Amino acid sequence: MKEAKEDIKAAKASLGRSEKSCSSGCAMLYNGQLKFPMATEQMIQWHLIEGLYLGIQQKKKDLYRTTDRNKQRRKIRRRIVEEKLSDAICQYNSLATSSTKALNSADELLAAERPIWPWECVDDASLGLKKTIFDKLMQLERLEEEEAILEEMKRHWSHICRTIKNVNDQTDVLSDGLATK
């Protein structure tokens, strides 16, 4: 537990954040309450882009599960969806202001294993470092929960030991009573 706390302190120090800001940021991330400073049209665009991207990725995975006899029709559908994604990216990039980052092309997004969307990065710290801190905080939380469970088990064990002793005492009294009869 001490090691986990020291790791968290070291990670926070490397990020240059206070205890309170990291804890509140992780709590917001844990509860899904991050707020993004964007206009509503940009939010609509990035929801559309994420949806199209995930749809294409899902279709790639489902490609071999479903058998579509008409390969040409499948190619046309895929091309239409990829063109919609390209158009949505172009429209998002045209709406992008100086405070928001522009997206890469659709081909680069589809080639990436898991793209990091610009609207997911709300400040200058790297996403990997934030994930590390979040994982360590969750590990510490699990350790604290396990510690509480161990305390409860210890109390239960001592109760069982006392109960066994009482049962043994009563058994001895009963056996002595039966032996005298």
Torsional class of 43: left (φ above 0), alpha (ψ -120 to 50), beta (otherwise): alpha
Check pLDDT > 60 for residue 15: yes
Looking at the domain assignment, is residue 170 inside a domain? Answer: no
Residue 37: pLDDT above 60?
no
**Overall number of domains in the chain:** 1
Who wins on pLDDT, 161 or 33?
Answer: 161
Full residue range of the structural domain in which residue 103 is found: 38-121
In a domain, residue 97? The reply is: yes
Asked whether residue 79 is domain-assigned, the answer is: yes
Angle, to 10 degrees, between the axis of helix 19-31 and the axis of helix 127-180? 80
Per-residue model confidence as pLDDT tens digits over 38-95: 556 767 776 777 777 767 667 666 665 555 566 666 676 667 767 777 777 777 777 7
Residue 78 lies in a domain: yes
Instruction: Read off the DSSP letter of residue 168.
Output: H
> How many angstroms separate the CA atoms of 105 and 143, rounded?
43
Average of pLDDT values for 133-145? Answer: 86
**Residue 4 confidence (pLDDT) above 90:** no
* Within a domain: 4: no
> Over the stretch 86-135, which tens digit does the pLDDT of each residue have?
777 777 777 766 556 666 666 666 666 666 555 555 555 566 667 777 78
Question: Residue 82 has what pLDDT?
Answer: 75
DSSP state letters, 74-101: HHHHHHHHHHHHHHHHHHHHHH--TTSP
Q: What is the pLDDT of residue 166?
A: 96
**Residue 102 maps to a domain:** yes
